[in-house]
Chains A and B, each alone.
Chain A
Amino acid sequence: MNTQISRRNFLKSASALAGATLVVGFDAGKAVAQSAGTSDITPFVRVAADGKVTAIIKHFECGQGTATGLSALIAEELNMPLDAVEVDFAPANAALYGNTLFGGAQGTGGSTAMADSYLKYRTAGAAAREMLITAAAEVWGVSPSDVTLKDGVLSAGDTSAPIGDLVSAAAQLDVPANPTLKDPSEFTIIGNPDTNRRDNGPKTNGTATYGMDIQLDNQIVAVLLRGPRFGGTLVSHDDSAAQDVPGYIRSAALPPQAGAGVIVYAQNTWAAFQARDSITADWDFSAAENRSSDQMKADLMAAVNTDAEFDARGTPAETAAALKGAAQVIERDFFFPFLAHGTMEPMTCVVAPSETGVTVYDGCQFPTAVLGAFAAVLQIPQEAIEVKTIYAGGTFGRRATQTADYHVEAALAFAFAGGQQPVKLVWSREDDIKGGYYRPAYAHKVRVGLDDAGQIVGWDHRIAGKPIFKGGPFDAALVHGGVDNSSVEGTRDTPYALPGMYVGLTDGKTPVPVNWWRSVGHSHTAFVMETMMDMAAEAAGQDPVEYRLGYLAGGTPDQNRMANVLRVAAERSGWTSDMAEGHSRGVAVHKSFGTFVAEVVEISGNADDGVAIENVTCVVDCGVAVTPDVVVAQMESGIGYGIGHAMRNEITFSDGEVDQFNFPDYEPLRISDIKSIETHIVPSAEAPTGVGEPSTPPSAPALANAIARTGTRVTHLPMAENGVSFA
């Protein structure tokens, strides 16, 4: 995918209320000067008659700092303090807000928010600035070059006026086709490390409203009793014991095509949980996943030890020939378990009747799919649905699924309740851990041939796991020649110059629903690539940093940027310096979502006596860092997420039923697990790229490589279940 903004999107303005408001945005195809309303353009910035400036944010906020980053772009171009720019979330409307990188569907994912928006928001802000300046120049009879705009005030010589005074004049003007963007040397907000988050206040005093917090008059709560095995169907259920639960209303069997389960209604959340616990049900498991984890793992392992279904890069024959001539072949297999996302706020969604149709309250990551789901289930046109985007208590990918799973449930719960009163669908933590849409389990098997000098001559890499996109709405874009890109990304497209590389893929088959999970395919491929590079360096008797640099010396832009973060990480971590007694270091570097991240993990102890993570040094190249402190925070977050799961998380099955139930056996990373993280952003003039995911991929292999220095090489995850104890 490329991050170029289509120049076919023209800047446009609309004077919404008879010239009282200046709204600047883009339309989809043709340049039009003025418009009576805002419905035909995508508004990015609005200047009201009272001078209030609002950034319209088209991506939802789940902690990654989107609101801060995008409003900073507007504030920068309008020369005003960030706090003075208000923030509004855009309503769901794919025609208006299609994310260019998502093929036109409105969504947040793949760390695309900043990449897609950097130029669009700045251009809209710059156009608004030029229009205000031109309006002032015309009204005052001076040249535009004599007018300045700062902190919401226009001035020329002795004359000055707040921008609100010139909004209606500005709204009458044609929108400049190519407004001049501020030169980066003049930036005061973009790249400023002291820019604070916009959402600190409500998120520290308890007033931020999440889906779980919506309380509407007359609202009832719905929870689902789901089948214990994926792919099972409901035969019958009995709610007689639930009748004794105060607050229980009633239950309804879901239609089979909507999944297997019973909707349970109650007056409040606790009553709903209690009632659900007392309902018994019979299930038909004939088409269900009935295997246990040992078997599921053995099946994937077998798949990587034989011919692959699809070739993703190279051919097995050429690589086999290259390996034949090798002085030594190093070989390793890998296993990655299913993983739940474990968002702090479990899934929830509120649906209420409205005058036109329904209003949906959701921490909505993927509005296009959500609109489609509600329209399909409720049989109403999309225009009848209003989606109110509210804060989401984390997502890591979970709030967007290709089937809009919990939105479909919410729509059904609303419809089955009669469609006359607000219904709040609530997932418990148990629902979240047992509910599927996992990062798929994957197996890899790699054989790397080295010559006498320890240089790589061939790389045979086989992968097996359930594809995420195949058969779904993104199939045409992301599956080619049978290869689902999400299964192999990070291997076949590695910036390392690897001779004789073969990547083969076999699809895993299971009814367990899978989904993208923070960093998608990179969540397992980076671990394999960086472990094998480390093992190759070891076999060659070379330093792991120097060895990697040798494969990044080809001079391509990707190789240069990857080598640079690796070098800086070595410097910053004191890679070649002495360590405290009993300490070890490991390194990993990876490119994902256009961003390059190198990490060095320093541990104390060893696998037998207990490993403690003393420090993580992280170096990132994400192009221009619009809000550097948000970038640092995302690096810290992604490292914790990657390391925490690699240490001890897995979803396992016994006869098709998920073994884990809640946090006690899907233990989150805790504050004491990582003693410190130091992040360094390398300066860059490249267009900004994603930061929500790219620190996750290198974190686990850097830890594994550090542990390997103490004599234990772990390649089956989680580490704690495969021979590594943690202090």
Chain B
Amino acid sequence: MANSLKINGQMLSVDAPEGTPLLWVIRDELKLTGTKFGCGVASCGACTVHIDGQPTRSCQTYIEDVADTEITTIEGAESDVARAVHQAWNELNVVQCGYCQSGQIMSAVGLLTENAKPTADEIDDYMWGNACRCATYQRIRTAVQRASDILEA
């Protein structure tokens, strides 16, 4: 079935049966592999994309539900907030294996867009669903705060 999707500002047409998770459309059909598969059951956050600006688990979002939405993946994360997050992540050497980090960054961008000055507890609450098996959490927490400072400056 042909579906049209608006991803990273581009209208694209994909052929995928109803019920196909957006994650697999993005990765296998559109070859945008920055969005990762970690669990498939909405419990790790590796697959996080933005749908109309809202961080969303693409493994539990189906192709038929995103017809009239704007989807942003890590490849298209270029807002001022995204740039600040990238800079903070680099300054603090957050990444280890890196596999969870696209999802972490998409969630962090969502958080800072909603809340420019989150406290440590607010960060923990918001980022709770993004698992990092390398346990880079301490740096994630600091980097979100650093990105907030960069945006304020």
Which of A428, A633, A662, A669 has a CB less than 8 Å from the CB of B93? A633
Question: A207 CA to B101 CA in the complex, in Å?
Answer: 11
Determine whether B57 belongs to the interface, using a CB cutoff of 8 Å to chain A.
no
Q: A64, B96: Cβ atoms under 8 Å?
A: yes
Give Cα distance in the complex from A484 to B37, angstroms: 37
Instruction: Check B127–A206 contact: CB distance below 8 A.
Output: no
Binary A-proximity of B37-78 (CB < 8 A = 1, otherwise 0):
111110110100000000000000000000000000111000
A270-B21, A662-B41 given as contacts; is B98 within 8 A of A199 (CB)?
yes
Is B34 a contact partner of A205 (Cβ separation < 8 A)?
yes
A391: interface (CB < 8 Å): yes
Is B97 within 8 A of A391, CB to CB?
yes
Contact flag A640-B135 (CB < 8 Å), given A204-B105, A269-B27, A429-B39: yes
> What residues of chain A lie closer than 8 Å to B140, measured between beta carbons?
671
**Interchain CB contact under 8 A, A213 and B21:** no
Q: Hey, what's the 0/1 contact readout for A663-679 against B, CB within 8 Å counting as 1?
A: 11000111111111100
Bound-state Cα–Cα, A197 to B32, Å: 24
| Cβ B46 vs Cβ A672 within 8 A | no
Contacts of B124 in A (CB 8 A): 671-672
Evaluate whether A637 and B90 lie within 8 angstroms (CB atoms) in the complex, with A268-B24, A393-B99 already known: no
Residue interface bits A567-585, CB-to-B below 8 A is 1, else 0 = 0000000000000000000
Interface string of A173-215 (1 = CB under 8 A from B): 0000000000000000000000011011111111111101101
A483 to chain B: closest CB distance in Å? 32
Cβ < 8 Å to B, chain A residues 32-68: 62-65
Closest Cβ neighbor of A268 among chain B residues:
B28
Name the interface residues of A340-368: CB closer than 8 Å to any CB of B: 342-346
The reply to whether B40 and A429 form a contact with Cβ atoms under 8 Å apart is yes
| B16 nearest CB neighbor, chain A only | A270
**B33 near A215: Cβ-Cβ < 8 Å:** yes
Q: Please name all residues of chain A whose beta carbon is closer than 8 Å to the beta carbon of B75 when the two chains form the complex.
A: 205-206
The closest CB in chain A to the CB of B17 belongs to: A246
Residues in A whose Cβ lies below 8 Å from that of B137: 640, 669-671, 673-674
| Docked-complex contact A268 and B29, CB < 8 angstroms | yes
Are A200 and B95 in contact, CB atoms less than 8 angstroms apart?
Answer: yes
B88 to chain A, nearest CB (A): 10
Interface residue? A639 (CB, 8 A): yes
A196-B90, A677-B138 are known contacts. Are A205 and B74 too (CB-CB below 8 A)? yes
Chain B interface: which size bin?
35 or more
Q: Does B117 contact A (CB under 8 A)?
A: no
CB-based contact A270/B44 at 8 Å: no
* A207:B93 contact, CB within 8 angstroms: no
Contact of B138 among A396, A630, A676 (CB under 8 A): A676
- Mask: chain B, 111-139; 1 = CB below 8 Å from A; 0 = not: 00000000010011101101111111111
Q: Report whether B35 and A206 are in contact in the complex, using a CB–CB cutoff of 8 Å.
A: yes
| In the complex, A644 has a CB within 8 A of chain B | yes
Q: A270-B24, A644-B135, A671-B123 are in contact. Are A344 and B46 (CB under 8 A)?
A: yes
In the complex, A392 has a CB within 8 A of chain B: yes
Say if the beta carbon of A629 comes within 8 Å of chain B: yes
A239 within 8 A of B: no
Residue of B nearest to A64 (CB): B96
Q: Assess A671 versus B130: contact at CB under 8 Å? Given A203-B101, A664-B41.
A: yes
- Known A203-B101, A204-B90; judge A212-B37 contact (CB<8 A): yes
Most chain A CB within a 10 A radius of its CB, from B73, B96, B97: B97
Q: In the complex, what residue of chain B is closest to A203 when comparing beta carbons?
A: B98
In the complex, A343 Cα to B24 Cα: how many Å?
20
How distant is the Cα of A64 from the Cα of B93 in the complex, in angstroms?
12
Is A451 on the interface with B (CB-CB < 8 A)? no
Q: B39–A199 contact, CB under 8 A?
A: no
What is the minimal beta-carbon distance from B1 to any residue of chain A, in angstroms?
9
Which residues of the partner chain A approach B74 to less than 8 Å between Cβ atoms? 205-206
Query: Contact between B131 and A344 (Cβ–Cβ < 8 Å)?
Result: yes
Binary A-proximity of B5-44 (CB < 8 A = 1, otherwise 0): 0000000000001001100100111011111111111011
Write the nearest CB–CB distance from B119 to chain A, whole angstroms: 12
A636 within 8 Å of B (CB atoms): yes
Whether a CB of chain A sits under 8 angstroms from the CB of B100 is yes
Question: Is residue A394 contacting chain B, with contact meaning CB distance below 8 A?
Answer: yes
Q: List 18 A-B contacts (CB under 8 A).
A: A199-B95, A200-B89, A203-B98, A204-B95, A204-B101, A206-B75, A212-B33, A270-B20, A344-B44, A344-B131, A346-B38, A429-B40, A637-B136, A640-B137, A663-B131, A670-B128, A671-B130, A676-B138
Q: A203-B101, A630-B93, A662-B43 are in contact. List 14 more A-B contacts (CB 8 A).
A: A199-B98, A201-B90, A204-B95, A204-B105, A205-B75, A210-B36, A268-B24, A270-B24, A345-B38, A394-B96, A394-B99, A429-B41, A668-B44, A668-B133
* Chain B interface (Cβ < 8 Å from any Cβ of A): 17, 20-21, 24, 27-29, 31-41, 43-44, 46, 73-75, 86, 89-90, 93-102, 105, 120, 123-125, 127-128, 130-141
| The 6 A-B residue pairs with the shortest CB-CB distance in the complex, in nearest-first order | A206-B34, A640-B135, A393-B99, A203-B98, A63-B97, A63-B96
Binding site for B on A (CB under 8 A): 62-65, 196-197, 199-210, 212-213, 215, 246, 268-270, 273, 342-346, 391-396, 428-429, 629-630, 633, 636-637, 639-641, 644, 662-664, 668-677
